């Protein structure tokens, strides 16, 4: 403990160069600008949601006005009291309560369901259902409008994060100590991460709200078309019923007139004879009664048939509405599941691509390392082989030089000897060419000795020349073998 220095506090930004810090700062500024652009896009989506909400409210108000106009129509005649529920033939509206099917209370109408007040922001709106209220026979249950409450206050959180990020950037820009720059950058990175998560959540929420608004718009358009069609059918049915009512009234009045015209004619015929005139009033009365009964029976048949058709249409409409709602829920669930699967698959694809790129980079790095290692090994082996061959050649050259040196010395010695013998031979020849001595001199032992000496010198000279020639041939053979060996070594 005595040899150690004081404990140092680790500073993560102390050893970071200024170039890297400035590059990281620029990246953070660029990411901040991108996030601001995304926030502007989110605000635009909020404005679009507000416009869609206003459109939905306008359509709802128009539907309410149409319902009020339909309620203000003149009531049907008392003779057709069973047609009070004809409006149910034309379909159902989300805000239009259908009258009860009990004929004992034809004038009772349920009050419309109060809608929750709208705050006027883009984070809350109503979903208008396409089904009306069920009659009191179905336990008096009513269908309420689906209400989405206000979303979490993500906008305020985003603004708070942006304000914190701006303050951090200003502090980082005004920071005189460059050692604390990396600390501020790490804080900004955390803020960016939080901001990115918030933006991602808002994007998901806005995409869901966009799809929901599109569905609401389509449903509102379908409701509008359905209301228009229903009102048209209702007007046609009312007009048709008025015409039938007028026809029935005409039949009743004509039958009453026929009966009245037959009754006053009977007293005129009483003076002629009571027995002959009595059957005619009875026949006219019975004929009028039969025609009236036939007209009433036909009207009752039409009424029963229309009531049966109305009940059948109501049942079919109810079944179709239930089927439509069930199919709509199924398809919405399938769409959400498919979107979730698509998101999961996209995430898997990105992960696989990142993993593949990482593997490719690792493989390339290993391949480069192996290639460099092989090249180094080949270079080292070639160098070792060349050094070994050079060493062997130096040894062979040295050996040949060792063999050649005595031959060269011997050749020099022999050349010197040949030169000496040549000089001696020249001297002998010069002595022979000199004036001949007296004949007595040839017979003397000195002349014979000189001749013998001369012959010996000639033979010795011949022998030396022969030896020199042989040694020269051997030397040439050695040199040619060494040259062939060197050429053979240089050839591969």
C-alpha to C-alpha distance for 430 and 125, rounded to whole angstroms: 148
Residue 256 counted as domain residue: yes
Which helix (H) or strand (E) covers residue 151, if one does? Answer: none
Here the tokens at position 429 are 């020849």
At residue 354, the pLDDT reads 92
Residue of 415, 95, 69, 74 lying closest to 232 (CA atoms) = 69
187 burial (CB, 10 Å; 0-12 / 13-18 / 19+) is middle
Specify the DSSP class assigned to residue 125.
E
Residues 55, 185 contacting (CB under 8 angstroms): no
127 DSSP assignment? E
Among residues 182, 125, 114, which one has the least CA distance to residue 149?
125
**18 within domain boundaries:** yes
pLDDT of the residue at 271 = 44
CA dihedral 281, 282, 286, 289 (to 10 degrees): 60
With a cut of 50, which residues of the chain have pLDDT below it? 1-14, 16, 75-155, 263-280, 436-445
pLDDT in tens, 321-358: 888 888 889 889 989 999 999 999 999 999 999 999 99
In a domain, 248, yes or no: yes
Handedness of CA 380, 382, 383, 389 (dihedral sign): positive
pLDDT at 208: 86
Tell me if 467 is assigned to some domain. Answer: no
SS3 state of residue 147: strand
- Chain centroid to CA 14: how far? 40
* 432 close to 450: Cβ distance less than 8 angstroms: no
Cα Dmax for the chain: 240
Domain count, the chain: 1
Strand partners, 147: 126
Position 198 in a domain: yes
Specify if 292 maps to a domain. Answer: no
Per-residue pLDDT at 49: 73
- Element containing residue 57 per DSSP (H, E): helix 18-71
> How much is the pLDDT for 242?
81
In a domain, 450, yes or no: no
- 474 in any annotated domain: no
Note if the pTM is more than 0.85.
no
Expressed as residue numbers, the domain containing 28 is 12-137+145-262
Identify whether the C-beta of residue 475 lies closer than 8 Å to the C-beta of residue 411. Answer: yes
| Rounded Cα distance, 384 and 378, in Å | 10
Quick: pLDDT tens for 126-181: 433 333 343 333 333 433 333 334 444 444 566 676 677 667 767 666 665 666 66
């Amino acid at each position: 403990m005595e040899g150690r220095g004081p404990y140092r506090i680790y500073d993560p930004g102390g050893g970071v160069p200024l170039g890297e810090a400035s590059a990281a700062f620029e990246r953070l500024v660029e990411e901040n600008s991108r996030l601001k652009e995304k926030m502007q896009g989110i605000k635009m989506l909020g404005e679009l949601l507000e416009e869609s909400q206003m459109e939905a409210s306008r359509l709802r108000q128009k539907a309410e006005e149409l319902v009020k106009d339909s309620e203000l129509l003149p009531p049907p005649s008392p003779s057709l009291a069973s047609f009070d529920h004809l409006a149910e033939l034309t379909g159902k509206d989300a805000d239009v309560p259908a009258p009860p099917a009990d004929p004992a209370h034809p004038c009772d109408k349920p009050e419309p369901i109060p809608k929750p007040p709208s705050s006027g922001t883009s984070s809350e709106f109503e979903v208008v259902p396409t089904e009306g209220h069920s009659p009191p026979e179905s336990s008096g249950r009513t269908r309420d409008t689906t209400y989405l409450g206000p979303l979490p206050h993500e906008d305020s959180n985003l603004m708070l994060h942006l304000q914190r990020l701006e303050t951090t950037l200003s502090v980082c820009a005004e920071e005189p100590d460059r050692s604390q720059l990396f600390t501020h950058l790490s804080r900004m990175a955390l803020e960016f991460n939080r901001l990115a998560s918030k933006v991602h959540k808002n994007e998901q929420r806005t995409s869901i709200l966009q799809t929901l608004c599109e569905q609401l718009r389509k449903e509102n358009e379908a409701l509008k078309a359905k209301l228009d069609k229903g009102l048209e059918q209702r007007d046609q049915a009312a007009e048709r019923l008025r015409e039938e009512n007028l026809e029935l009234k005409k039949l009743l009045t004509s039958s009453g007139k026929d009966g009245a015209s037959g009754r006053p004619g009977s007293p005129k015929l009483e003076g002629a004879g009571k027995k002959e005139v009595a059957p005619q009033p009875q026949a006219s009365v019975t004929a009028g009664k039969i025609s009236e009964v036939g007209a009433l029976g036909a009207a009752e048949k039409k009424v029963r048939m229309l009531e049966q058709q109305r009940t059948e249409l109501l049942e079919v409409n109810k079944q179709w509405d239930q089927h439509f709602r069930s199919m709509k829920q199924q398809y919405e669930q399938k769409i959400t599941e498919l979107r979730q699967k698509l998101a999961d698959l996209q995430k898997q694809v990105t992960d696989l691509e990142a993993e593949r790129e990482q593997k490719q980079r690792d493989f390339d790095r290993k391949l480069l390392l192996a290639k460099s290692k092989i090249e180094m090994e080949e270079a080292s082996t070639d160098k070792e082989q060349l050094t070994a061959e050079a060493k062997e050649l130096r040894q062979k050259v040295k050996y040949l030089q060792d063999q050649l040196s005595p031959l060269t010395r011997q050749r020099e010695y022999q050349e010197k000897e040949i030169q000496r013998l040549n000089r001696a031979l020249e001297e002998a020849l010069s002595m022979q060419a000199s004036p001949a001595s007296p004949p007595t001199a040839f017979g003397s032992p000195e002349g014979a000795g000189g001749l013998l000496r001369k012959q010996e010198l000639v033979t010795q000279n011949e022998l030396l020349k022969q030896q020199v020639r042989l040694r020269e041939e051997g030397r040439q053979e050695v040199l040619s073998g060494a040259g062939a060996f060197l050429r053979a070594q240089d050839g591969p």
